[in-house]
Amino acid sequence: MIDPIDLTGEHSAVLVDTFRRRVWRYYETFGRHDMPWRKTRDPYRILVSEIMLQQTQVSRVVTKYAEFLQLFPDVGSLAQASQRDVITAWTGLGYNRRARYLHQTAKRIVDDHGSQVPGDPAILKTFPGIGANTAGSISCFAYNTAVVFIETNIRRAFIYSFFSGNTDPDTVDAVLFTEQFVAENAEGAWFEPRKTIGIIDDSTLLPLIERTLDPENPREWYYALMDYGNALVRYVDNPNRASRQYVRQSTFEGSRRQVRGRVIRVLSDLPRASEDDLLDTTGAPVAYLQSVLQDLLAEGLIVQDGLSWKLAE
């Protein structure tokens, strides 16, 4: 594992300043300023977006986010809805247990917090399906709290910038701060190939994230970081492969995730379906489908109704 960077030396101070300026400049020029959850300060809507964005691409979330909020415009309407209606509205985003967690969270917010989404990450972490990083992101984006958290794009930005390539403070990135460079170069010119050596743990990155955090405007700073990290993967080999926390996404076609999604989609469209119906629509082997059904049953997403299956209410 790579040793932590010394954050006390003059060299590191220059690197941190260079990094900040580069990220801000990139964000000003290429930032994703039109994403709908960045145009609201409603904590409920930000909660919904952060749960949806867990393990799901932005492009898939944008349309579903608007549709979901039309059905459940506030935390009270979501809490009062049936689980079946919530899961049906969620269909297409995948990882359907997140819909159940969000539904349960809404009920707790109404019952225990006067229908106000808490801003304290310690409280947010007590809700189902919300870990430290999601709690941090909700707190930051909803309340502009200067909290330290990490997600895949942030991780990518820091590994690329501090653990690979040229880190000579006298030369690194200087050209990127000229008006001429910004005017004359496309996005891809900002990202030169770099090679990371070794394995970097999140525990090494967190002090750097804290050191670079903008305490006056953490919300916008994290937006900028995420956009910078998101762009990186389009132009260079994914720096996150050097992360100890990196998990390669499995192939979706024919996967357990795909079968689970098909089951939920069928049961969203029908009051109930037999095992034979599900075999026909999923194309899964009998034993495999039965295993998936038992998982969904244990998670509280479906129930057995005689010889048929249906979404849990």
Is residue 50 annotated as part of the catalytic site, yes or no? yes
The torsion angles phi and psi of 13, rounded to 5 degrees, stand at -60, -40
Q: Are 277 and 271 in contact (CB under 8 A)?
A: no
Those residues with Cβ within 8 angstroms of residue 147's Cβ, 6 or more apart along the chain or in another chain: 121, 136, 139, 140, 218
Closest residue by Cα to residue 268 from 92, 78, 57: 92
Length of the chain: 313
Catalytic residue among 10, 28, 50, 299: 50
Closest residue by Cα to residue 123 from 43, 212, 200: 43
The torsion angles phi and psi of 310, rounded to 5 degrees, stand at -150, 165
Closest residue by Cα to residue 212 from 161, 246, 139: 161
Instruction: State the virtual CA torsion across 159, 165, 169, 172 in degrees, nearest 10.
Output: -110
Residues forming beta bridges with residue 274, ordered by sequence position: 308
List active site positions. Answer: 50
